[in-house]
Chains A and B, each alone.
Chain A
Amino acid sequence: DAKTTQPTSMDCAEGRAANLPCNHSTISGNEYVYWYRQIHSQGPQYIIHGLKNNETNEMASLIITEDRKSSTLILPHATLRDTAVYYCIVRGTRHAGNMLTFGGGTRLMVKP
């Protein structure tokens, strides 16, 4: 699976959009970009995934650049409950066992 690079930490004001970047310059054609988040001392929670088109669901939007070498997760109106570690993961559809490889993630702090 392609390696991902994320900033270690970010701050965001409550009510503002939180934009979390992820670099995955070695991504290959059949690999998807997944985002999970982990609130302190809980299990990770799936947010969204995409291949090359932008995706949106009730939690967030995922913007993938045209060359697919980077992506941005957008939380449109961050709340205090969005404070968590956000993991960007790249995974192909043919990966044995379909397990996820988690890096260090970005620690997002939403402040009042």
Chain B
Amino acid sequence: DGGITQSPKYLFRKEGQNVTLSCEQNLNHDAMYWYRQDPGQGLRLIYYSQIVNDFQKGDIAEGYSVSREKKESFPLTVTSAQKNPTAFYLCASRPSSGALNEQFFGPGTRLTVL
């Protein structure tokens, strides 16, 4: 089955701890994205990567870090510097060729910081 997986679905952490959210895709897509969603709100872009070993900050990158060492993986680390990390985190990917290609989203990880 081709698709995007995010694990775990629910994640709990203590305040002050760093936590890494997993995002894997087997769609052979070049571009990958991380979004954050707060209750009742739309999605906000955290980071994106158009190719391996390259990534760019989105609108709300402060307190987050990413890596893109492999095409299929784009993990997001929520650091202790992120002031309000509790949110629903969504990963997406798309083929880079073709500017009109749709984004495919993973099922999301709901992070709760206690």
Instruction: List A contacts of B107 (CB < 8 A).
Output: 42-43
Q: Which residue of the partner chain A has the closest CB to B107?
A: A43
Instruction: State the majority secondary structure of interface residues on A.
Output: loop
Highest count of chain A CB atoms <10 Å: which of B102, B108, B110 = B102
Residues of A contacting B4 in the complex (Cβ-Cβ under 8 angstroms)? 43
Q: How many residues of A contact B (CB 8 A)?
A: 23
> Is the C-beta of A104 less than 8 angstroms from some C-beta in chain B?
yes
When the two chains form their complex, are residues B41 and A104 in contact, meaning their CB atoms are under 8 A apart? yes
Contact B42 A43 (CB under 8 A): no
- Are A41 and B88 also in contact (CB < 8 A) when A97-B50, A99-B33 are? yes
If A97-B31, A99-B45 touch, does A43 touch B100 (CB 8 Å cutoff)? no
Tell me which of B40, B43, B50, B105 has the highest count of chain A C-beta atoms within 10 A of its own C-beta: B43
The proximity string for B residues 74-114 relative to A, scoring 1 for CB distances below 8 Å and 0 otherwise, is 00000000000000101010101001111111111010000
Knowing A97-B50, A98-B31, A105-B42, the reply to whether A46 touches B103 (Cβ < 8 A) is yes
Residues of A close to B105: CB separation below 8 A? 43-45
Contact surface of A with B, Cβ cutoff 8 Å: 32, 34, 41-46, 49, 87, 93-105
